[in-house]
Amino acid sequence: MQIAVGSTNPVKVNAVIACFGEAVEGISVPSGVRDQPWGDEETIVGAKQRAKAAMEQAKATIGIGLEGGVQLIDDRLYLCNWGVLVDEGGMEIVAGGARLPLPEEIKVKMVKGEELGPVISAFAKRSEVNKKEGAIGIFTNGAITRTNMYKQIVEVLLGQYHFYTR
Global pTM reads 0.94
Q: Please, are residues 39 and 61 in contact by the beta-carbon 8 Å criterion? A: no
CB 2, CB 25: distance < 8 Å: yes
Length of the chain: 166
Q: Where are the alpha helices (DSSP H) in 36-145?
A: 39-58, 104-111, 116-124, 134-139
Task: Say what the pLDDT of residue 24 is.
Answer: 95
pLDDT digits (tens, 9 = 90+) for 7-24: 999 999 999 999 998 789
pLDDT value of residue 1: 82
Whole-angstrom Cα distance, residue 85 to residue 107? 30
CA angle (152 as vertex; 135, 42 as ends), nearest 5? 60
CA-to-CA distance for 59 and 53, rounded, in angstroms? Answer: 10
In this structure, whether the domain defined by 3-101+147-165 belongs to CATH 1.20.1260.10 is answered with: no
Can you give the residue ranges of every domain in the chain?
Answer: 3-101+147-165
Q: Which residues of the chain carry a pLDDT beneath 70?
A: none
pLDDT at 22: 72
